[in-house]
């Protein structure tokens, strides 16, 4: 015996994403992005990441049908970057530093002077304790956007303090280890 679970009116049914046409995917992107932004603003970074991830999947599916670096592909890539930046910011908030690094690098591969991507990748390197890479990104950021001088100097000072603190802690741990 089968049971009726729910009756949907026309327009209430949501197609599975793999049934969507390219046009439907493209038209859904702004709605999903806004939903991701609202979730981010509500500090629900996990769900915001899911929305942004879905948008990025749509872009990947649309871009794979284009020849890399052709006009259409470049247009899609430019439209994808702000969503990738939002995705990277969510990953930073969630402490998923290596994912943040990977996605910021994707942006930088096509736009090496994107200051937001450089800053966020630098912050992710700090979180992952990749000190050398973090310093390199911060110094590149200074060259790309000198107006961020005060912010970058502050970040580099915080990084230097964290390094000193870690060195003290390591020294203390070694001293304790060898004194017993």
Q: Measured between alpha carbons, how far is residue 21 from residues 12, 36, 81, 120 in Å?
A: 18, 22, 22, 33
Contacts by 58-67, CB closer than 8 A, 24 or more apart = 58/17, 58/25, 58/26, 58/28, 58/29, 58/32, 59/29, 59/83, 61/22, 61/25, 62/22, 62/25, 62/26, 65/22
pLDDT of res. 13: 42
Tell me the HSE value of 27 on the side-chain side, using a 13 A CA sphere: 5
pLDDT in tens, 46-58: 999 999 999 999 9
3-state secondary structure of 120: helix
Domains of the chain: 19-94 (1.25.40.10), 114-180 (1.25.40.10)
Model pLDDT for residues 4-60, shown as the tens digit of each residue = 656 656 554 455 666 788 778 888 899 999 999 999 999 999 999 999 999 999 999
Contacts for 120 with CB less than 8 Å, ≥ 6 apart: 85, 88, 89, 92, 100, 104
pLDDT digits (tens, 9 = 90+) for 58-74: 999 989 988 988 899 89
Residue 61, classified by CB atoms within 10 Å of its CB into exposed (0-12), middle (13-18) or buried (19+), is middle
Question: 70-129, pLDDT tens digit by residue?
Answer: 899 899 999 999 999 999 999 999 999 999 999 999 999 999 999 999 999 999 999 999
């Amino acid at each position: 015996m089968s049971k009726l679970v729910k009756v949907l009116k026309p327009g209430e049914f949501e197609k599975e994403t793999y049934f969507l046409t390219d046009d439907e995917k493209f038209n859904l992107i702004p709605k999903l992005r806004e939903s991701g932004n609202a979730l981010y603003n509500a500090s629900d970074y996990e769900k915001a990441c899911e929305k942004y991830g879905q948008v990025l999947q749509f872009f990947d599916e649309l871009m794979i049908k284009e020849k890399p670096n052709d006009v259409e592909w470049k247009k899609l890539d430019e439209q994808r970057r702000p969503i990738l930046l939002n995705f990277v910011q969510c990953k930073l908030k969630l402490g998923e530093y290596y994912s943040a690094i990977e996605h910021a690098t994707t942006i930088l591969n096509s736009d090496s002077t994107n200051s937001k991507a450089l800053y966020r990748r630098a912050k992710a390197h700090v979180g992952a304790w990749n000190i050398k890479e973090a310093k390199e990104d911060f110094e590149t950021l200074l060259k790309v956007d000198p107006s961020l001088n005060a912010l970058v100097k502050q970040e580099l000072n915080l990084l230097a303090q964290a390094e000193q603190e870690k060195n003290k802690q390591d020294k203390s741990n070694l001293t304790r280890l060898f004194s017993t």
